[in-house]
């Protein structure tokens, strides 16, 4: 019996669906938005405790809360970590890192099966929980691409039969585990109205995504007064688009570099240079990701993110190696001074990691080789106080370069002495406030951030 290709499953999903009419770049944005819509808007608010998911050619599930609770199967290429050229772009650039970084706070686990040539490279994600059953896929030839979303019981039943036959031929043990996982779900409640919810949510998310960088002329009917009111929002949208355009090629370069790093036949000099390129790409991806978050916060003014208990001291210790390596390339030494037995704080650990990296960059950019950075974490009443102090090689020559910054708008500032762009003081304060922190900046004491203690807040 021949193996059922995954492309046949996608073809079954396309039955009765009109032929698509979009190109590859557009369908990729649709896929990213669909992943965000399903995971963030539909599944995450449900606080699911049981379920399963199957995907190809990458683990399209990236929300940690779902990954930790749901059982997964992935048909993936041999070099999964490299995200090779055929599969590049199937995850939003801002989400790729959560599945790749070795310093992640959570471990992603799933059963892995080999992706075969007959399967193709179009993405597929099937989610089965007692409350929601849905399949997402891309399908169609170039120029006629289509985003497929099926939640009707008949299609899902056929898909599961095909997957079961595929696993029976490929790995009978995995087929048995899948059947057992389905049995453990118990009675499934078919959500026939899911399509009526999914497509409007997807449309809203697409409308909020930064567009591709294009130039448009203003309508002639626009009055100067109205134009001036819309100008800041337009600038922020353009800034979001620019950061997206910068991060995407950097993410592609980094994934290709990581595929080369897996080879065993490269000279040490080549390996060291590749690792340096990888580190530089990661640093710039994080830097522009922070700018994107700041622009989004300024433009849309979302509600304060849900904060959770966070072990800030442990986070600093775990991130120390990557920060030390980053600063070492600039000739700067990192020192941590963390008081013992500190309570947890209220914050968002995933976004806080990126924010702390931005603060370190802010205090060390332009610092001469031989300088040092000190991070002190101490209790301060019902808060924890994090101080970030930079020191030049010669104390008498020390200059706080952030004092020289000139604001270019509500988000960015420019330092003429270093020629670098950074977040403005106001944007930095807004981002930290959304993470539960309060920033103070005094020239003689560097940056100080106060975080509320979790127990005290509760």
| Structural domain contains residue 152 | yes
* Same domain as 103, residue 166: yes
User: Tokens 């009111």 correspond to what residue?
Assistant: 229
pLDDT at position 388, please?
Answer: 92
| Structural domain contains residue 1 | no
For range 159-175, the mean pLDDT: 90
Buried-exposed string 66-99: b where 16+ CB fall within 10 A, e elsewhere: bbeebbbbbbbbeebebbbeebbbbbbbbbbbbb
Given a contact cutoff of 8 angstroms between Cβ atoms, the answer to whether 420 and 405 are in contact is: no
CA distances from 80 to 52, 76, 112, 113 (A): 21, 6, 10, 11
For range 120-124, the mean pLDDT: 90
Is the model's pLDDT at 369 over the cut of 90? no
* Same domain as 259, residue 347: no
pLDDT at position 88, please?
Answer: 41
CA distances from 289 to 193, 241, 246, 272, 447 (A): 35, 11, 10, 26, 21
pLDDT digits (tens, 9 = 90+) for 25-50: 778 888 888 998 998 889 888 878 88
Q: Which residue, 250, 252, 326, is CA-closest to 288?
A: 250
* Same domain as 198, residue 145: yes
Structural domain of 389: 308-457
CA 194, CA 199: separation in Å to the nearest integer? 9
* Same domain as 168, residue 31: yes
| Structural domain contains residue 357 | yes
Mean pLDDT of the chain: 79
Is the model's pLDDT at 102 over the cut of 60? no
pLDDT at position 196, please?
Answer: 84
pLDDT at position 376, please?
Answer: 94
For range 317-337, the mean pLDDT: 91
Given a contact cutoff of 8 angstroms between Cβ atoms, the answer to whether 188 and 128 are in contact is: yes
3-state secondary structure of 282: helix
- For residue 382, the domain's CATH number is 3.30.565.10
The pLDDT-based confidence of 417 (bands split at 50, 70, 90) is low
Look at the alpha carbons of 399, 288, 64, 116 in this order and tell me if their dihedral is positive or negative. Answer: negative
Is the model's pLDDT at 342 over the cut of 60? yes
The pTM of this model reads: 0.50
* Same domain as 84, residue 54: yes
Is the model's pLDDT at 338 over the cut of 50? yes
Look at the alpha carbons of 233, 288, 429, 331 in this order and tell me if their dihedral is positive or negative. Answer: negative
Poorest-pLDDT segment among 157-171, 229-243, 316-330: 229-243
| Structural domain contains residue 140 | yes
Tally of structural domains, the chain: 3
């Amino acid at each position: 019996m021949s193996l059922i290709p995954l492309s046949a499953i996608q073809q079954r999903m396309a039955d009765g669906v009109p032929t698509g009419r979009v190109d590859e770049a557009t369908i990729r944005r649709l896929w990213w938005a669909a992943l965000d819509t399903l995971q963030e808007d539909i599944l995450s608010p449900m606080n699911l405790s049981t379920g399963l998911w199957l995907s190809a050619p990458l683990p399209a599930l990236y929300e940690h809360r779902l990954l930790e609770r749901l059982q997964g199967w992935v048909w993936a290429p041999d070099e999964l970590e490299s995200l090779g050229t055929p599969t590049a772009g199937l995850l939003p650039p801002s989400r790729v890192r959560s599945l790749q970084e070795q310093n992640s706070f959570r471990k992603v686990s799933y059963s892995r099966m080999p992706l075969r040539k007959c399967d193709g490279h179009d993405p597929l994600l099937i989610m089965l929980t007692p409350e929601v059953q849905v399949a997402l896929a891309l399908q169609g030839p170039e120029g006629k691409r289509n985003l497929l979303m099926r939640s009707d019981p008949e299609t899902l039943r056929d898909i599961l039969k095909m997957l079961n036959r595929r696993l029976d031929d490929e790995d009978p043990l995995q087929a048995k585990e899948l059947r057992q996982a389905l049995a453990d779900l118990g009675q499934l409640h078919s959500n026939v109205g899911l399509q009526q919810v999914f497509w409007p949510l997807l449309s809203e998310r697409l409308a909020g995504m930064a567009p591709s960088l294009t130039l448009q002329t203003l309508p002639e009917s626009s009055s100067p007064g109205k134009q001036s009111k819309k100008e800041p929002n337009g600038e922020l949208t353009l800034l979001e688009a620019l950061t997206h355009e910068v991060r995407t090629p950097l993410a592609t370069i980094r994934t290709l570099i990581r595929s080369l790093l897996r080879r065993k036949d490269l000279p040490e000099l080549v390996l060291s240079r590749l690792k340096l390129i990888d580190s530089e790409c990661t640093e710039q991806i994080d830097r522009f990701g922070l700018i994107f978050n700041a622009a989004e916060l300024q433009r849309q003014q979302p509600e304060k993110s849900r904060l959770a208990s966070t072990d800030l001291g442990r986070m600093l210790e775990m991130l120390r190696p990557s920060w030390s390596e980053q600063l070492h390339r600039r000739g700067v030494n990192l020192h941590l001074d963390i008081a013992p037995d500190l309570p947890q704080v209220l914050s968002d650990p995933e976004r806080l990691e990126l924010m702390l990296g931005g603060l370190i960059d802010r205090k060390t950019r332009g610092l001469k080789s031989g300088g040092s950075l000190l991070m002190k974490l101490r209790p301060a009443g019902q808060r924890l106080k994090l101080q970030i102090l930079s020191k030049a090689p010669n104390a008498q020559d020390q200059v706080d370069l952030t004092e020289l910054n000139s604001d270019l708008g509500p988000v960015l500032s420019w330092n003429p002495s270093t020629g670098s762009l950074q977040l403005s003081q106001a944007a930095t304060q807004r981002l930290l406030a959304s993470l539960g922190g309060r920033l103070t900046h005094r020239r003689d004491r560097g940056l100080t951030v106060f975080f509320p203690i979790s127990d005290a807040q509760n």
